[in-house]
Amino acid sequence: MKTFHNPHHAAHAGQQEMFRGRMVPCHEVPARLDFVLAELQRRPLGALQTPEVDDAALDAAIGRVHSARYVDFLRGAWAEWVAMDPANAERDALPSVWPLSNRHGFRNDVLPANFAARLGLFSFDSGSPLTAGTWAAARGGAACALAAARDVSAGARSAFALSRPPGHHAGPDFLGGYCFLNNAAIAAQALRDAGHAKVAVLDVDYHHGNGTQTIFYERADVLTVSIHGDPVTEYPFFLGHADERGAGAGEGFNVNLALPRGTGFDTWRATLTTALQAVQRFGATALVVPMGLDTFEGDPISGFTLKSADYFAVGEALAGAGLPTVFTFEGGYAVEAVGTNAVNLLEGFQRSA
Which option in Zn ion, ligand SP5, none does residue 24 bind, with CB closer than 5 to 8 A by kind? ligand SP5
CB nearer to ligand SP5: pick between 252 and 262: 262
CB 273 → Zn ion: shortest distance, Å? 21
The site partner of 127 among Zn ion, ligand SP5, none (C-beta below 5 to 8 Å per kind) is ligand SP5
Rounded Cα distance between 216 and 247, Å, is 10
The gap from C-alpha 191 to its chain's centroid, in whole angstroms, comes to: 16
**At closest approach, how far in Å is the CB of 32 from Zn ion?**
12
Sign of CA dihedral 202, 203, 208, 212: negative
3-class SS at 71? helix
By beta-carbon proximity to Zn ion, the closer residue of 39 and 294 is 294
- Given the complex with Zn ion, which of 71 and 227 has the nearer CB atom? 227
Residue 21, burial from CB neighbour count under 10 angstroms (0-12, 13-18, 19+): exposed
Amino acid at the residue 1: M
What is the closest distance, in whole angstroms, from the C-beta atom of residue 292 to ligand SP5 in the complex? 5
CA–CA distance, 246 with 59 (Å, rounded to integer): 27
CA-CA distance, 312 to 306, in Å (whole number)? 11
Residue 270 near residue 262 (C-beta atoms within 8 A) = no
Task: Pick one of 66, 164, 207, 219: the residue that binds Zn ion (CB under 5 A).
Answer: 207
Give me the residues that bind ligand SP5 (CB under 6 A), please: 19, 24, 127, 166, 169, 177-179, 205, 207, 235, 292, 294, 301, 330-331
**Closest distance between ligand SP5 and the C-beta of residue 196, in Å?**
25
Q: Distance (Å, rounded) from C-alpha 148 to C-alpha 155?
A: 11
Q: Does 206 bind Zn ion (CB under 5 A)?
A: yes
Residue 301: name its binding partner from ligand SP5, Zn ion, none (Cβ under 5 to 8 Å by kind).
ligand SP5
Contact positions with Zn ion (CB under 5 A) in 81-140: none
Give the containing element (helix H, strand E) for 322.
Answer: none
**Strand, coil or helix: 41:** helix
**Phi/psi at 48 (nearest 5 deg)?**
-110, 120
Of 110, 94, 113, which Cα lies nearest the Cα of 102?
110
Cα(170)–Cα(177) distance, rounded to whole angstroms?
8
The residues pairing with 24 across neighbouring beta strands, listed in sequence order, are: 17
Distance separating alpha carbons of residues 78 and 85, to the nearest angstrom = 11
Check binding of 329 to Zn ion (CB under 5 A). Answer: no
Instruction: Report if residue 296 touches Zn ion, rule: CB under 5 A.
Output: no
DSSP state of 333: -
Of the two residues 284 and 291, which places its CB atom closer to ligand SP5 in the complex? 291
One of 8, 9, 169, 196 is an active-site residue; which one? 169
Write down the least CB distance from residue 294 to ligand SP5, Å. Answer: 5
Binding-site string for Zn ion from residue 234 to residue 273, where x marks contact by CB under 5 A and - marks none = ----------------------------------------
Closer residue to ligand SP5, CB minimum distance, 196 or 228: 228
User: Count of residues binding Zn ion (CB under 5 A)?
Assistant: 6
Residue showing the smallest CB distance to ligand SP5 in the complex: 331
User: Which helix (H) or strand (E) element contains residue 260?
Assistant: none
- Please, which residue, 122 or 206, has the CB nearer to Zn ion? 206
Asked whether position 331 contacts Zn ion by CB under 5 A, the answer is yes
Provide the 8-state DSSP code for 270.
Answer: H
Would you say 211 or 250 has its CB closer to ligand SP5? 211
User: Which residue in 292, 303, 339, 348 binds Zn ion (CB under 5 A)?
Assistant: 292
Minimal distance, residue 253 CB to ligand SP5, in Å: 23
Q: In angstroms, what is the minimal distance from the CB of 350 to Zn ion? A: 23
Q: Indicate if 228 belongs to the active site.
A: no
Helices (H), 236-334: 265-282, 310-319
- Nearest Cα to Cα of residue 118 among 135, 139, 136, 93: 93
Residues binding Zn ion (CB under 5 A): 205-207, 292, 294, 331
Residues with catalytic function: 169
